[in-house]
Amino acid sequence: MTAFTNHQIVLTAIGDDRPGIVSELTQLVSDCHCNIIDSRIAILGREFTFIMLLNGDMSAISRIEHTLPTKAMELGLLTMMKRTSSHEPSEFCAGYTLEYTGIDTPGTLSKVTRFFADNHISICSLKSDTDQVEQDTTMRCEIEFNIPIDVDIDKFKISFENLSHTLNVDYIFRRIR
Q: What is the pLDDT of residues 151-165, one digit of tens each?
A: 999 999 999 999 999
Homologous superfamily (CATH) of 92-175 is: ACT domain (3.30.70.260)
pLDDT digits (tens, 9 = 90+) for 105-151: 999 999 999 999 999 999 999 999 999 878 899 999 999 999 999 99
What letters, b where the CB count within 10 A reaches 16 and e where it falls short, cover 89-104? eeebeeebebbbebeb
pLDDT 10s digits, 18-36: 999 999 999 999 999 999 9
Q: Do domains 7-84 and 92-175 have the same CATH topology?
A: yes
Share of the chain above pLDDT 70, in %: 97
The residue type found at 85 is S
Residue 23 CB contacts under 8 Å (≥ 6 apart), including other chains: none
Average confidence (pLDDT) over 62-75? 97
CB 108 within 8 A of CB 176: no
Q: Which fold has domain 7-84?
A: Alpha-Beta Plaits (3.30.70)
State if pTM tops 0.75: yes
Domain ranges of the chain: 7-84, 92-175
